[in-house]
Each structure stands twice: as C-alpha cells, then as structure tokens.
A and B are shown apart, each in its own frame.
Chain A
Amino acid sequence: MKELNTDILVVGGGPAGLSAAAEAAGIGANVLIAEGDLHLGGQLVKQSHKFFGSKDEFAGTRGFEIARLLRDEIARCGDRVKTMLNTTITGYYPDENVVTAMIGEEEYIRVRPKKMVVASGAQERLIPFPNNDIPGVYGAGAVQTLMNVYGVVPGKKVLMIGAGNIGLIVSYQLMQAGVEVTAILEAMPRIGGYWVHAAKVRRLGVPILLRHSIGRALGDNFVTGALINELDEKFNPTGSPEHVECDTICLAVGLTPSNELLWQAGCKMKYVPFLCGHVPLRDKNMRTSNAGVWMAGDVCGIEEASAAMIEGRIAGMSAAASLGFKVSDDNFEKYRLRLKNLRAGEVGEKIRIGVSDVTVDGWEANS
C-alpha cells in the first residue's frame, strides 16, 4: 500500500483548512491538504453574497472571491503545500497514528502525518416528515451547489424550510436564478438569520411564515406540493394543514459537525447545543485531547466562515510550533483577539457560551 509522509496533514480544503495550511507552511512546515471535492475553497466557492464581520476576515468581499484569495495564498507557499483533490480521509488508526485516504474510488493509500489538523466541516441536518424520501426534497447546501457550482436550477417553485441565514440566502439566490420561492417556513417564533438577508427576500414579496413547519411532502414519483402546519408553543401542529404548490422542498434546518475522524482519534467530545452537535474539547490553540490532532472550522462548532479562517490560522500555527517551527506569541495573541472581536456582541453570545463550555486550560497533563 502506497504511503505518504508529511509534517502536517490538513483534512479538508475549506476556509479553515486552507488558512491552517497557509499558516503552517508560512513558518516552514510541509503540509498536505486532502480535499474530498474537486476544488479547494469548501462552501466558500458557492457563496455569492458579501461577507460581514471584520475587514481582517474579508468583510465586504463575496464568498467565492475569498476562496480565490485563499487559493492564491496557498499557491504562494509553493512546494511546501501539496494538495490532493477528490481525496477522502476514510479513517484514523490511533495505534499506528496513521490515516487511510481514498483517491476517487480508484486508489487507497496510507498517510503518516506527524501532526494533523481536522477541518472537515459540517453536514446538513434533515427533519423527519412523511414522503421526505421522494425526489425534489433537497438540502439547502445541495441546492446551492447545483445552482452556483454546476449552473442547474433544482425546480420551478420552491418551498423553503428554515429562516436562518442559509434558508434566507439560498431563497434569494433561487430568485436571482429565476426560480419562484412560494414561502419560507420557520418553526421558531422569530427569524433566525440576519435582518438584512430577511429584508431582501421580503422586499421581493416572499412570505416568511413563523411558527410553521412542513407536515408532509406530496407526490408519488416526485414532489408536487406540500402540506404545511402552524405550530403551537410546544411545536406541535395546530389547526388544519394548508396545501402549498411546489416542485421542490428545500431543507435549511441547520448543520452539524462532520466529526467522525475526531471520534476515531479518541478526542474527548461533548454535546454542545450552541455549537450544534458533538464537538471536541480544545485548548486555546485548537488542540484536541489527542496531542497530535488539532481542529478548526465548523467541525468544532457551527459558526461563520470568518471564524473558521481564524481558527485555522491558530491551529496551523500551533501544529507547526509543536514540530519546532518558530512562532512568536504575538501572532497567537493577534489571532485570538480577532476571534474575540468577531464573537463580540449579541450575535456571538451563543457561540461564546458554547466555546467556553469546551475550552480547557491546557493539555500539558497528557502530552
């Protein structure tokens, strides 16, 4: 079996992984990025909206342009960073400290990294309702990939489930692509996403129905409509269901960390609702309880890409430092301050509580 060696293996070439790789290579480490998709940039490549946050994290720049800036930064690292696309890290074997990688479906190799940064991102949540397995029921991320990466619209008339940022942004992008959005349903009594995104779709006349959810998908071979319900205080359906005509049902009901490798690496994990799933305990440098494993981005808690990029920089720097590459403490302080500023205020409150719940002082005891 073919075996590769590297100083640092970065699992995932999204905003967190690319930032980690650039930072680690910038101070001298050799880095291998394994990316499951056919391109680097992760979810950024399909984000056509401008980002918020701070200038340091490219506020005001569109997502796909941020992806390009990160790819340029990786290119400037030259031979220090090697990239494997279409490559999934399929397993971590702690006894030998080795991971397996599948390239396409044609090649299966071993990678023996000295250190590893897991930046494997997140996956979409699904909700149970009758007939949810027929064609025409999509995750919002899948719809965005179809439209913004492959130039294909999912249907003509979409019912969106979820008024968080993803539901709102994807609704707007559907309309930009000429697709009708019948309504956006939201189970909570308030809109979860930013006001500016909600205002955009409201100005275009799309109703956002709060305290509403889908009761069932209609159709035999594909979606022809949906029954929707108002919800009571306990989120149970109330009143008689209403019929909605649509050929696509788009689920934007949240993400959860893709944490399989971290479980396999034996990292101490905790279920944290504010971070949307099981996430590893971490020190302030994004190191897990496994002394050879760092993490960054959505895999350690669902948050914005801007936070993922800073976490990546901290993780990459810390992993490289553990191999003896020189890092000044000022750099750590600089990134930690940027992260703190990003999470300041009301918007960051849940993240702050969630992160403090899983942050430990240090792993000195087990390293």
Chain B
Amino acid sequence: MKEDDVIICRCEEITIEEIRSWIDRGYRHFDELKRILRVGMGPCQGRGCRDIILRELAKATGEPLDRIDPGTIRPPVKPIKLGLCAYGKEGTSK
C-alpha cells in the first residue's frame, strides 16, 4: 500500500485508487465493482463506501448522482451467523 492510499471500504480494505482504476477499465455500475472488488459485501454492507463510490461513478460518467444506480440491496442488512440459519427451525443457537 502506498502512503497516499485512501481506504474507502474498510470492511474489504479497498482504496479509492482501486475504485478509480476499475472505473477507468469500464466498470460503470456499483454492482460490477461489487463483484470484482467485494465493496459493499463486508460486515457493513456498503454503509460506508456506497455513497463515495456512487460519487466517483457520477464524476467519471458525467451523469448527475440521481441517474447513478446504487445497485441491488439485499437482505441481510447485517451479518448473521450461519449457525443461526442452520438452527432455523428452533430459531436459536443455544
């Protein structure tokens, strides 16, 4: 990591430079960046980085922010232990 790297996705440790370089390579949708970099797939589910990435996409494409698709937001909104789902019938891990 260079000294001037700016981490914008703390969950997956992705820098703004990485985001910009993938946008330059033609990744022009939040979900595309998510699939290649895992931004928005960590514990916070994009709460920290989504806004910043959408602004970068707006800058790169020249589109206003309201025209930038924020991507698909799926459940769960926060991490759930797999064990909880596995014990689904009783609904408890105890």
**Interface of A with B (CB < 8 Å)?**
1-2, 88-93, 100, 102, 105-110, 123, 125-130, 132-133, 216, 256, 258, 260-261, 263-264, 270-273, 277-278
Query: Judging by beta carbons under 8 Å apart, are A93 and B75 in contact?
Result: yes
Chain A residues with CB below 8 A from B81, complex form: 105
B1-25 to A contact mask, C-beta < 8 Å, 1/0: 0011111101000001000000000
Residues in B whose Cβ lies below 8 Å from that of A90:
75-78, 80
Chain A's nearest CB lies how many Å from the CB of B59?
12
* A–B pairs, 30, beta carbons within 8 Å: A90-B76, A90-B77, A91-B74, A91-B76, A92-B75, A106-B93, A106-B94, A108-B80, A108-B85, A108-B88, A108-B91, A108-B92, A110-B91, A123-B47, A126-B52, A127-B52, A128-B6, A128-B8, A128-B52, A130-B3, A130-B6, A132-B7, A133-B7, A263-B72, A264-B74, A264-B75, A271-B65, A272-B66, A273-B66, A277-B51
Residues 33-81 of B at the A interface (beta carbon under 8 Å): 45, 47-48, 51-52, 65-66, 68, 70, 72-78, 80-81
Interchain residue pairs A-B with the least CB separation, the first 4? A91-B75, A271-B66, A90-B76, A2-B91
Cα–Cα distance between A124 and B39 once the two chains are bound (Å): 18
Tell whether A100 pairs with B76 under 8 Å between CB atoms, given A130-B3, A271-B65: yes
Measured in the bound complex, the distance between the Cα atoms of B46 and A256 in whole Å is 12
Q: Do B6 and A132 touch (CB < 8 A)?
A: yes
Interface size on B, residues (CB 8 A): 36
Decide: B78 and A102 in contact? CB cutoff 8 A. yes
User: Measured between alpha carbons, how far is A109 from B84 in the docked complex, in Å?
Assistant: 9
- List residues of chain B with CB within 8 A of the CB of A271: 65-66, 68
- CA A281 – CA B13 in complex, angstroms? 34
Q: CB within 8 A of A256: which of B5, B51, B90?
A: B51
Give Cα A129–Cα B16 distance, bound, in whole angstroms: 9
Q: Take A1-B91, A264-B74 as given contacts and tell me if A102 and B84 are in contact as well, using a CB distance cutoff of 8 Å.
A: yes
CB of B64 to closest CB in A, whole Å: 8
Measured between alpha carbons, how far is A260 from B65 in the docked complex, in Å?
A: 18
B66: contacting residue among A125, A260, A270, CB under 8 A:
A270
If A90-B75, A108-B85, A128-B16 touch, whether A278 touches B80 (CB-CB below 8 Å) is no
Contact B77 A106 (CB under 8 A): no
Whether B6 contacts A100 by the Cβ 8 Å rule is no
A7 CB to nearest chain B CB (Å): 22
* Contact present for B84 and A126 (CB under 8 Å): no
Nearest CB of B to A229, in Å: 14
| Chain B residue at smallest Cβ distance from A263 | B73
A226 to chain B minimum Cβ distance, whole angstroms, is 14
